[in-house]
C-alpha cells in the first residue's frame, strides 16, 4: 500500500484515523504540533509550507490518502487562531498536496467539518466570505470581534463550502474529495469545551436522538469507508455523522 497523510494525528479523531489507516496497510505520515512523524504548526503559512515540503520528501511526491483533522474548539480565547488552524490550516494543506494526490493510487481526501457548521448565520457572514476568498488576515481581523461559536462554526462552514467548490478541479484530477460533519465526539477537544464555564452550556441544549456522543473510532471508521473502494462514487459530499443531532434540530431543512 502507499502513503496516507493525516493532520492532527496525535490525538482524538486524527489518532484513530491514523491507526485505522496503518491497519489497512498504509504508511502513515502524521502531522501535528508534537508526537507525529512531521511536527509542524498549521496555524501559520510557514508551518504549512514546511509540512507540505516534509510530506513530499517523506512520500516521494505521491500520496493516496489525505485526512485533514487538525482543529481547535470553540472554547479557545484566541479566535483568530481557530480561524487559522480550522480553515486555512486545512485548505492550504489540501491545495498544497493536490499534485501529490494526483500522482497517488485511487486517491481520496476527507476534511473534518462539523455539524455546527449550520448552527449560525453563516451564509453571507463576512468572516466566512473572507475565508473563502483566501484572505487570512481579513478573516482573522473580522473574527477577533466575534465569539467562539462564530469562529468555530464559521470556520467549519467555510471549510465545507471550500470542499464543495473544489469538487470539479479535484474530480478532474481523479481525486475524490469529501467532508464529514461529526456531532459531539468523545475526544480531548470535547472534554475541554465541556469544562469551559460558557461554552459548556451549549451541550445541555443538544438533542441527540441516539442518546450519546460519538467516539473517535466511529468517526474514523466512517472516514476510512469514505476513502475506500466501497465509496468509489462518493465525491463532493459532506456527511453528517452525529447520532441524529442535525436532523432533530432542523427536521425540515435539507
Q: Please identify every residue annotated as catalytic.
A: 152
C-alpha cell of 191? 472534554
Distance CA 134, CA 91 (A): 9
Q: Please choose, out of 6-14, 100-108, 195-203, 226-234, the segment that lies near ligand NAD by the rule CB under 6 A.
A: 6-14
The gap from C-alpha 200 to its chain's centroid, in whole angstroms, comes to 22
Q: Are strands 185-186 and 214-215 parallel, antiparallel or unpaired?
A: parallel
Options 189, 208, 220, 239; binder of ligand NAD; rule CB under 6 A: 189
CB of 148 to ligand NAD, least distance (A): 12
Residue with Cβ nearer ligand NAD (167 or 192)? 192
Options 13, 109, 129, 175; binder of ligand NAD; rule CB under 6 A: 13
What's phi and psi for 116, nearest 5 deg? -75, -5
CB of 217 to ligand NAD, least distance (A): 11
Task: Convert 29-53 to b/e letters by CB count within 10 Å (16 or more is b).
Answer: bbbbbeebbbbbbbbbeebbebbbe
3-state secondary structure of 159: helix
Q: Is 239 in the site for ligand NAD (CB under 6 A)?
A: no
* Touching ligand NAD, residues 57-96 (CB under 6 A): 69-72, 85
3-state secondary structure of 180: strand
DSSP code for 188: H
Q: Is 6 in the site for ligand NAD (CB under 6 A)?
A: no
Residue with Cβ nearer ligand NAD (103 or 249)? 249
CB of 14 to ligand NAD, least distance (A): 5
* Touching ligand NAD, residues 89-148 (CB under 6 A): 112, 114
Distance CA 97, CA 166 (A): 13
Contact residues toward ligand NAD (CB under 6 A) are 8, 10-14, 32-33, 41-43, 69-72, 85, 112, 114, 182, 184-185, 187-190, 216
Amino acid at each position: 500500500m502507499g502513503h496516507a497523510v493525516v493532520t492532527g494525528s496525535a490525538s482524538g479523531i486524527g489518532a484513530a484515523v491514523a491507526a485505522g489507516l496503518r491497519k489497512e496497510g498504509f504508511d502513515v505520515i502524521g502531522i501535528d504540533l508534537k508526537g507525529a512523524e512531521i511536527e509542524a504548526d498549521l496555524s501559520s503559512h510557514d508551518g504549512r509550507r514546511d509540512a507540505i515540503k516534509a510530506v513530499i520528501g517523506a512520500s516521494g511526491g505521491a500520496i493516496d490518502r489525505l485526512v485533514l483533522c487538525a482543529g481547535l474548539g470553540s472554547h479557545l480565547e484566541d479566535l483568530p487562531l481557530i480561524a487559522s488552524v480550522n480553515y486555512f490550516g486545512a485548505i492550504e494543506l489540501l491545495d498544497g498536496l493536490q499534485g501529490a494526490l494526483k500522482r497517488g493510487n485511487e486517491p481520496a481526501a476527507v476534511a473534518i467539518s462539523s455539524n455546527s457548521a449550520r448552527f449560525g448565520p453563516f451564509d453571507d457572514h463576512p468572516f466566512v466570505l473572507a475565508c473563502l476568498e483566501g484572505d487570512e488576515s481579513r478573516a482573522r481581523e473580522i473574527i477577533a470581534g466575534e465569539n467562539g461559536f462564530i469562529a468555530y462554526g464559521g470556520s467549519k462552514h467555510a471549510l465545507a463550502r471550500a470542499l464543495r467548490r473544489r469538487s470539479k478541479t479535484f474530480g478532474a484530477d481523479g481525486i475524490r474529495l469529501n467532508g464529514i460533519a461529526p456531532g459531539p465526539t468523545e475526544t480531548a477537544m470535547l472534554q475541554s469545551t465541556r469544562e469551559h464555564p460558557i461554552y459548556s452550556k451549549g451541550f445541555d441544549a443538544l438533542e441527540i436522538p441516539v442518546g450519546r456522543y460519538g467516539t473517535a473510532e466511529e468517526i474514523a471508521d466512517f472516514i476510512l469507508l469514505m476513502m475506500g473502494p466501497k465509496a468509489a462514487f462518493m465525491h463532493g459530499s459532506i456527511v453528517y455523522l452525529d447520532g441524529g443531532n442535525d436532523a432533530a434540530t432542523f427536521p425540515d431543512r435539507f
